[in-house]
Structure 1
């Protein structure tokens, strides 16, 4: 049995969620969850696994916007407009909770706590996009890499996905490069600099943060603390 989602110390009313849930979907690595410029009839919550949001140019160049982990809500943009402005792809075997798009407003009305939780998730996603814009526009290459590694580690740690201060990261260096707006070669060299600085260890896609404060200082992490995020 899956654990009950908690927000601010309160259990979410699972019976309400079950009323709108129409099933679960398992998606293989590399498979599309939502397509760019497509109309989505379903919305999703990530139950397990990793996925990423992205946009592509006509010539195939891709920008990864951010990463989705358990508890993240996918497809809210499609609920507000007819078409998805970005795509979502699974990085690992990913299990999704499926909701019908046309029932979203009933879903909001059924439980004010759930409506607030979804608003919280949307606001948190907006804040992560602020940091992504800052990275692409003003952070140096090493600051970009340091921030992304710390951000993913901290987000996963909050979900209990780290073990002995280690996180298995399923993305390749090409994913990191597409996130950071760097070439794969530049990304590789920058990772090597971080390793030599002694703040991280990254071997076989397993990240260990050796000196978190040094990594945060290098990444220019905003120390504003968020409350625990909700799971829907």
Structure 2
């Protein structure tokens, strides 16, 4: 596992968290905010390509993404990889390992990522004394299941063109809601190999599929990633209605 660049002090106060200013996330009560600040033990900075958690590992920590992009994945013994989902600001990492003893998937940073670090041992206090925050954790787990359902539908029933259109529209809409673009045209930092490993396609088939989307002027591929030119057009191709939730919780 690659080394972390660690910031051991808490750094960003929870009451000044940049995610709290976004309409996408629900507001904390003063008591909840105070608990989360005490729950938080520090922050980690990781570089792109860093393995944050490895399949089969045990961790004493939970993480919330404060900034940056990452992805969750599983691998077969021969090295073939299936990307399960992508992580963005507000997403929780490591809950599975906390509740089930070890991680059943790995997590890697797509870009430089800053993580809020929480002590696993304090999770019991959250469930006992802060029922709304406990509900938030349940909501986050249910939302992850919902996203996996949609991804499974893509792999099982959507055509290659529909799969690619859904994935790119999904990433664009989630990133926009969490202000990853900061009002500017910023590329989604994925390679065509990431797309292939998400959609269950060969790299050759993926390349041909993405060219079709580019020819329709829906996307533009560049060295730094993928620019989304028309997310509504991508949604129409995939038959996906987009995100429904207006407000979501985070820890």
**Same fold, TM exceeding 0.5?**
yes
In structure 2, the CA distance between the partners of 1:143 and 1:165, relative to structure 1 (3 Å rule), is farther
CA distance in 2, matches of 1:60, 1:224: 33
- Asked whether the equivalents of residues 165 and 208 of structure 1 are also in contact (C-alpha less than 8 Å), the reply is no
Q: Does 1:3 align with 2:46?
A: no
Contact 1:26 1:93 in 2 (8 A): yes
Residue 108 to residue 57, structure 1, CA distance change in 2 (3 Å): same
Structure 1 residues 9 and 91, CA, compared in 2 at 3 Å: closer, same or farther? closer
Distance 1:219 1:66, change over 3 A: same
Structure 2 CA distance for partners of 1:7 and 1:198, relative to 1, 3 Å: closer
Q: How far 1:18 moved relative to its partner? A: 1.1
1:207 aligns with one of 216, 227, 235: 227
- The Cα of 1:222 is off from its aligned counterpart by 3.8
TM-score (normalised: structure 2): 0.85
> Normalising to structure 1: TM-score of the pair?
0.92
Deviations 1:73-117 (A, max 9, x none): 001111211111101111111111111222212123332222222
Question: Which SS does the other structure have where 1:10 is aligned?
Answer: coil
Q: CA deviation at 1:3?
A: 2.9
Gaps of 5+ in 1: none
In structure 2, what is the equivalent of residue 14 of structure 1?
33
Paired residue total? 231
1:82 corresponds to: 101
What's the CA shift for 1:2?
2.9
Query: 1:39 corresponds to which residue?
Result: 58
RMSD: 2.0
Q: Could you tell me how far apart the structure 2 residues matched to 1:45 and 1:27 are?
A: 13
1:195 equivalent in structure 2: 214
Output the CA distance in 2 between the equivalents of 1:165 and 1:218: 25
